[in-house]
Amino acid sequence: MSPSAPFLVPERDASSKIGRAKGGGTTYLTVPGNSISSITTLSHTLNTDWYSPFFTPTPLIIDQLVCEVTTGASGNLRMGLYKADADWQPIGAPLADSGNIAITVAVKTYTPGTPLYLPRGRYLGVVNLDTTSTLRAPRTDIVTLLTPSLGSSGAISSLSVGRTYAAFPTPGTAWTTTATGAAPGILTPIAYRVSTP
């Protein structure tokens, strides 16, 4: 059997790729590998890295990171992306860092100079703001995270760590804080435009 057979190397099998929704000339946004259970908002505290996980089973190319400010004070936000380890912690250098994006109530788009080629694996989107503002935040699930004590409000809704607003560091700062509630799903402020496949 050839080592390039689809069942041995699934990324070479076009039918195994997640793909992306595209119609009428519009490529729609997604959070790769995740399902969205609801759409809400999250007040993002300043000087905090807020992480949101996703997993892609096959390689893809992302050419935009997008978020929506729903209420905001004068200031800046940054969007970025890291690879994640098996503990869903950031590793290595940021794959993307938008730099300063002025906070106004609007959809904010960051287009990297070179589209991001992502091999199959785990990734963490990250947002940091230098002022407290509210962002649109779908609840997404690649893995449902629960506190060890379970309980009626044991679903983990955010992964964060305090860090003064600045360029995303190498390596990424490990998250140390979780928020919980009754609704499952991580609050995910960043959506992605997948250009390939």
The DSSP code sequence of 28-40 is PPB-TT-EEEEEE
Domain-wise residue ranges, the chain: 21-196
Q: Which residues of the chain have pLDDT under 70?
A: 1-22
**Beta-bridge mates of residue 162:** 48
Q: What is the pLDDT of residue 91?
A: 98
Instruction: Tell me how crowded residue 27 is: count the other CB atoms within 10 A of its CB.
Output: 14
* Residue tagged 């009626």 (tokens): 152
Q: What is the pLDDT of residue 26?
A: 80
Q: What is the pLDDT of residue 1?
A: 46
Q: Please provide the CATH number assigned to the domain covering 21-196.
A: 2.60.120
SS3 174: coil
Q: What is the pLDDT of residue 153?
A: 83
CA–CA dist 147, 153 (Å, integer): 9
- Assess contact for 120 and 133: CB atoms under 8 A: no
Q: What is the pLDDT of residue 154?
A: 86
